[in-house]
Amino acid sequence: MKAATLRAFLWLHTWVGLLAGMALFIAFYAGAITVFSHELGDWNRSAAAALEPADSVARSQALLDTVLREHPQAAESLYLVLPGDHGPQPSAYWFESASGKSRRFAFADADSSELRELPEREGFVDFIYDLHFTAGLPKTFGTYLFGVVCILYGLALVSGVVIYAPGFFKDLFALRLGSNIKRLWQDAHNVIGMLSLPFHVVFAWSGAVLTLGLVLLLPFETLVYEGKLTKLVEYDFYGAPQVAAAKTAKPSLPLRELLARGHEASPQMQVEGVSYVNFGDANARATLYGTLAQRRLNTLAAVALDASNGAVVSVVEPKTMTPGMAMLRGLQSLHFGDFGQVAVKWLYFALGLAGAFLFYSGNLLWIEARRKRRQPEQPLRTRVMAALTLGVCLGCVAGVSATFLAGALLPAAWAPRIYFAVFFASLAWAALRQPARAGHELLWLCAGLTAAIPFADWIGSGEHLFAAFARGHWHRFCVDAVALVLALACARMARATLRRACHGDPNSVWALRPERVAVVRVAS
């Protein structure tokens, strides 16, 4: 390959990586955690709060009746979440036609018959989930921005492979230890990028489709299909053709009866929720959504019923999906890692953390490649990039750990406030301090906040790490144990950062000024 071509790809890889890298660090770090979103929901629940109702169907029916009685406008389109993976108590939500905002309700407590309105996104788990695809930006804007970021991410992958291809077999497993720290970081960046390449290709592709898919359909809707595309893909999105309301009142069947009809149509499906459209109308539709294990990439299943008489309208199972639906649902499963049980979740967790390291190390390599090797004072651009990298990446890690503390000890509404307070404080600290000092201090902040998670859980739930292990509360034990491991890793990195600052090449943005080195040595 010509040298000019390689330089062009290197330029593309560098600048696309810099533009998207810090946003992708947040996406990957938060995404690695939300792989276990259902398990995290059980982490800080007390034993009593984690119990499902004795008759979950009756409790769900009572919630449905109460919501429709107090909010009759919800009959137009309502989703009922049944007790199970999404929580021990039922909940219901719908979207207001005027504002487009969702409203969610549940019973005030396990024994109450009074409704309590829930926030649109409740608790620290929902916040970290949103952080994964918005980076904390306003939801609509952040989602579309991440679609663009995923496209840039794909360009970075392609250009990175082109750059690395000439020495692929020679350098694939190379991890050259020694005094050349830049070479070590370069090797680590390359080997993680290449060995996890299929994972990254899937994420770039699925992330772009999930965030920009509907936008990309609009030109086809107007220019190609003359307004008929929505009708053509209706089955792929909803599982059955949609029908307009008849404007004639007709009672809908009880939930228990609808679940029985759904079980007859798809005996192995585990129902997780019910979507009602035009409840109480002659054309009312109830669609049961759940999972069905059929040794396929995705496990989504649905049974659409006529809510007034229980007649089966359609049955959607992994084996019978249309090619379009199988492709879309398969991409969703690949993106969220909800296939292959626990082993795949742990694999996605490890690959998510490795991906976060990939983007962090890419920024460090850019900084190192542009340092002045014959003078202590470094260019402004490298100092600014060092401050941004430390502030955004380590601020995200510290903020997520602080969010766990808030989830264990404070009301749900505090989770985003705590995250943004820690994140912007870290960003400001990185801007005000010398990069070597800021990196060392922020890593200790990450270590301290992450190590505090098991203790906050102990205070909030009344069960410590060893008690959770003895009683078989594996979700609590695993979260607390992993937090301690990550805290230890942050502490080791903090010590390594200080060692590099004191004893490494002094002509670097990561070196302490001579007077600071003397102070550190005297203190130690």
pLDDT tens digit sequence for 438-476:
999 999 999 999 999 999 999 988 888 999 899 888 889
Q: Distances in Å between the alpha carbon of 304 and those of 83, 210, 317, 349?
A: 20, 24, 12, 35
CA 130-270-131 angle, to 5 degrees, is 5
- Averaged confidence pLDDT in the chain: 86
| Mean pLDDT score, 257-274 | 94
DSSP-assigned beta bridge partners for residue 301: 290
Which of 408, 444, 412 lies closest to 426 in space, CA to CA? Answer: 444
Q: Can you read off the two tokens belonging to residue 440?
A: 């060392």
| 99, pLDDT greater than 50 | yes
Q: 99 vs 51, 69, 79, 96, CA distance in Å?
A: 35, 21, 18, 6
Percent of the chain residues past pLDDT 70, beyond the cut: 91
CA 177 to CA 155: how far, in whole Å? 30
pLDDT of the residue at 472: 86
Q: Cα–Cα distance between 207 and 218 in angstroms, integer? A: 18
> Both tokens of residue 26?
């947040």
Render the burial of 171-203: b for 16+ CB within 10 Å, e for the rest: beeeeeeeeebeeebbbbbbbbbbebeebbeeb
Rounded distance, CA 310 to CA 274, Å?
13
| Residue linked to tokens 């169907």 | 57
Number of residues that this document lists for the chain: 524
Structure token digits, residue 174: 């190379």
- In this prediction, residue 519 has a pLDDT band, given cuts at 50, 70 and 90, of very low
| Rounded Cα–Cα distance for residues 13 and 155 (Å) | 7
